[in-house]
């Protein structure tokens, strides 16, 4: 029987992690889990309940009574919160601006990590986020740390936004991405950082296909081990 592995993909904002993770999962027939979507789901619910994102205890209680379902869809992954599809809403600028503040709280992270481990149990997964290789799946057979220059990441997000009919300024995107990276890297609990045993891939001058192929090759090697 073929060995089933767990793949952790971490890296800064807008590095193309989810696109690549989705492609890899599809190719291997694995489950794709976008952990950023889970933090975004909580941030979205907190905003709609007017909960202060600096209040870790309230956010923890809110998460305790929240059901987050990630379900495979044509477009990748639908995010259902308490039975309502919020796939689009969690990508809003407002949620993007608040999500890192929601993700700093240890109580919130503990619960999220628990949920994420449950989702990964007993199955082949490709999980992307900030702390997957370091905290969520420290025993993942393959760990990738994917990065790219901030200019390149802002440009990619800009093009993606245009395709979705959203107008954003390149400079604003660059500032937003840099600020989110700073907050995610400087937080106390499970900050964004490369796991010691992760493979670093700088995608600045690479095409999506090149990155996907490199990761598929690494995955095949680990599966055959
Ligand atoms: O991946 P995405 O950019 O959608 O993640 C949104 C935010 O969620 C990140 O900027 C970070 O603050 C938080 N996050 C996290 N840990 C993860 C995934 C995301 O703290 N594993």
Testing ligand 1's pocket by substitution, the residue of 7, 90, 99, 135 carrying the most ligand atoms inside 8 A of its CB is 99
Which architecture characterizes domain 6-211 according to CATH? Answer: 3-Layer(aba) Sandwich (3.40)
Q: Ligand 1 centroid vs 209 CA: distance in angstroms?
A: 24
Decide: 103 in ligand 1 pocket, CB within 6 A: yes
For CA atoms 99, 133, 206, 74, the dihedral sign is: negative
Which atom of ligand 1 lies nearest, measured to the CA of 34?
Answer: 1
Decide: 36 in ligand 1 pocket, CB within 6 A: yes
Q: Provide the strand spans (E) within the chain.
A: 6-10, 31-34, 68-73, 76-81, 84-85, 125-129, 142-147, 199-202
Question: In the structure, what pLDDT confidence band is assigned to residue 74 with cuts at 50, 70 and 90?
Answer: confident
Residue 44: predicted pLDDT: 98
Q: Comparing C-alpha atoms, which of 152, 133, 129 is closest to residue 142? A: 133
Stated pTM of the model: 0.97
Q: Which protein residue's CA is at the shortest distance from atom 21 of ligand 1?
A: 129
pLDDT in tens, 16-69: 999 999 999 999 999 999 999 999 999 999 999 999 999 999 999 999 999 999
Which atom of ligand 1 lies nearest, measured to the CA of 37?
Answer: 4
Question: Domain segments of the chain: what residues?
Answer: 6-211
Decide: 129 in ligand 1 pocket, CB within 6 A: yes
How far out from the chain centre does Cα 1 lie? 30
Is 59 within 8 Å of 51 (Cβ atoms)?
yes
Decide: 109 in ligand 1 pocket, CB within 6 A: no
For residue 78 the two structure tokens come to 């639908």
């Amino acid at each position: 029987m073929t060995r089933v592995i767990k793949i952790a993909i971490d890296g800064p904002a807008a590095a193309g992690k989810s696109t690549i993770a989705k492609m890899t999962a599809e190719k291997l027939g694995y489950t794709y889990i976008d952990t950023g979507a889970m933090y975004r789901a909580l941030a979205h619910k907190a905003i709609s309940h007017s909960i202060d994102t600096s209040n870790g205890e309230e956010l923890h209680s809110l998460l305790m009574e929240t059901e987050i379902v990630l379900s495979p869809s044509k477009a990748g992954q639908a995010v259902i919160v308490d039975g309502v599809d919020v796939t689009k809403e969690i990508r809003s600028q407002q949620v993007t601006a608040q999500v890192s503040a929601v993700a700093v709280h240890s109580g919130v992270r503990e619960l999220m990590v628990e949920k994420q481990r449950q989702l990964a149990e007993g199955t082949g997964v490709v999980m992307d986020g900030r702390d997957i290789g370091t905290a969520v799946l420290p025993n993942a057979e393959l760990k990738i740390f994917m990065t790219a220059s901030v200019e390149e990441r802002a440009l990619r997000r800009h093009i993606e936004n245009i395709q979705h009919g959203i107008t954003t300024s390149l400079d604003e995107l660059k500032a937003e991405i840099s600020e989110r990276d700073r907050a995610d890297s400087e937080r106390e609990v499970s900050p964004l950082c490369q796991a010691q045993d992760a493979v670093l891939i700088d995608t600045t001058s690479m095409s999506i296909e090149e990155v996907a192929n490199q990761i598929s090759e690494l995955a095949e090697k680990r599966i055959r081990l």
